[in-house]
Amino acid sequence: MASGIGVNRSGQMSRRRLLAGTAGAAGALAVAGCVAYPGPDPVLGPWDCAVASGLHSHDAAVLWTRFAPAALGGVELQWQVAQDPGFTRVVAAGTTAVDGSTDGCAKVLAEGLAPATTYWYRFSVGTERSPVGRTRTLPHPDAEPDRLALAVASCQKFSSGWYPAWRHVAEADIDGVVFLGDYIYESAGKVNPLWDVRDDPSERATDLETYRAKYRLYRSDRDLRAAHAAHGFAPVWDDHEFHDNYDRISLTEDPDRATAAYRAWFEYQPVWPIDGTRIHRTLRFGRLAELSLLDTRQYRDLLPEGDMLQLTTEPPASMVHAEDRSLLGHGQRQWLLDRLGGAEGDGVTWKILGQQVMFAPLRLLDLDEPAFGDGPRHRGLYLNLDQWDGYTAERDLLTEFLATQQISGAAILTGDIHSFWQASVHRDMEDPASPAVAQEYVCGSVSSTALGWYPELADAAAEITRGTSPSFRWVDWRRRGYGYLEATPEGMRVEFRSVDPRYRDSPAVTPVAFDQPAQAQTVTMSS
């Protein structure tokens, strides 16, 4: 496989050549209505899901592959990590056993690597070699990097579109990919003639085998495989990896299904286990940035029935203002406060939160006025209580912490809502003039639809939601795509990059970009 991958003048593998080398030589299929799922790429042979890696630490990386024959019987895989794509300078190697207990998926923690260094890796069984992947270690915690570049993505329903977003990410000059959830969709593969582009033949995921089948289906896409092979990922889940809008009560109501969903996620994602089903964790990029990845699903308290368009002045929806409600769970929340305070104390410039649901308030009607009677703060008509709006007291606790502890350089990266948004997060949502304590960037969806098929409705929705209080700086219900973040000691730039998932070869355009200086919560928008 190494012979099919090119190297540029600096000795680094060309992303475009890597894309071709890892995804196979099959040409793009023309989109004409709904295209049937073609099955695994025969070029990959037994490595039907290719390879992937996970961002882990300054001296280690997680390496992943699936060797399909191992799902039927035990196999020992060899793995190698090298300083060059030709594997003439191998720096780490070993073996790992794999069998049907993990559906043929193998995961290795390659340790003893150098900080802030690009490596190439591969697996083999006898003469069978996997595609080659590339990964990168984090900077040393005490280092002073001059740049961090990340792609930010979420929500990639298979039937809703091709993945040109992943093709562009694979070719990008970045340090890694932050994936904020909805890697798969558990629902049955129904074809909607209005907006579905390709067929999803899989059934509704309810047990271990059907969840595994979803991951194999999604990894059959060559552009997603190419992105995994080109960059290390830092993934977390949202709800569709289990089922829509679940909470901690859901885990006790259907424990077998929850166990299957979580097991399949850990099998197929390049994440090294921490403790049971815990996924919240921190990645430190020297003193330039700390990325805290959150889990806003498995610890959250129950939502009222019907989370969309709810008045919170009366029960049961008024429960969302209860002081003891939590989205994060008390343990994760304290961990987050400790991480934010520790990063500030260490002099880290940027404190970045990677999480799933919108943090900024999306209240369509403000009813928190004396004229509407006594009651808890933040009453009103909310668009979607599945977001932080369903946990207003905990959000207040976090914004107050950011303000009183003078946490500088806070930025929140969000997925879930299949659209692009940007807003300042204020210390007090009832007072738009109160200080901004963070900036939130909602980075769209890879393919999952929102209102893009209804342009007039999308524009009307954007106009309405842009004018809430506090207001949003940018709302775009039409486009899909991903986010690009570049941080330096002087400032952060976030671009929203849009693609048209109806077309596999869609270009990426940047309708808007935001520049945020370090040590200040001000944003300049350019479009």
- Report how far residue 264's alpha carbon sits from residue 257's, in angstroms, rounded to the nearest whole number: 11
Instruction: Look at residue 178 and give its three-state secondary structure.
Output: strand
Identify the residue whose tokens are 């795509």.
481
Predicted local confidence at residue 346, as pLDDT: 98
CB-based contact 348:289 (threshold 8 Å) = yes
Distance CA 352, CA 280 (A): 13
The confidence score (pLDDT) of residue 13 equals 35
- C-beta separation of 214 from 202 below 8 A: yes
Q: What residues does each domain of the chain span?
A: 142-181+279-526
Is the Cα torsion angle 226, 228, 231, 234 positive or negative in sign? Answer: positive
SS3 167: helix
pLDDT value for 40: 65
Q: What integer pLDDT is reported at residue 38 of this predicted model? A: 60
Q: What is the mean pLDDT of each run of 10 residues along the chain (527 residues)?
A: 29 34 30 53 88 98 97 96 98 98 98 98 96 98 98 97 98 98 92 85 96 97 98 98 96 97 98 98 98 98 88 93 97 98 98 98 90 86 96 98 98 97 95 94 95 80 84 94 98 98 97 96 95
- pLDDT at position 23 is 35
Q: Where are the alpha helices (DSSP H) in 299-362?
A: 330-345
The pLDDT, as a whole number, for residue 374 is 81
Which residues sit opposite 133 in a β-bridge?
121
CB atoms within 10 A of CB 187: 17
Strands 148-153 and 176-179, by their bridges, are parallel
Residue with tokens 């003639």: 193
User: How is domain 142-181+279-526 classified at the CATH fold level?
Assistant: Purple Acid Phosphatase; chain A, domain 2 (3.60.21)
Provide Rg for the chain, Cα atoms.
22
What digits encode the pLDDT tens for the residues 20-72? 333 332 222 223 245 655 666 777 889 999 999 999 999 999 999 999 999 99
What DSSP string describes 437-472? Answer: EEEEEEE--SS--SSTT-HHHHHHHHHHHHTSSSPP
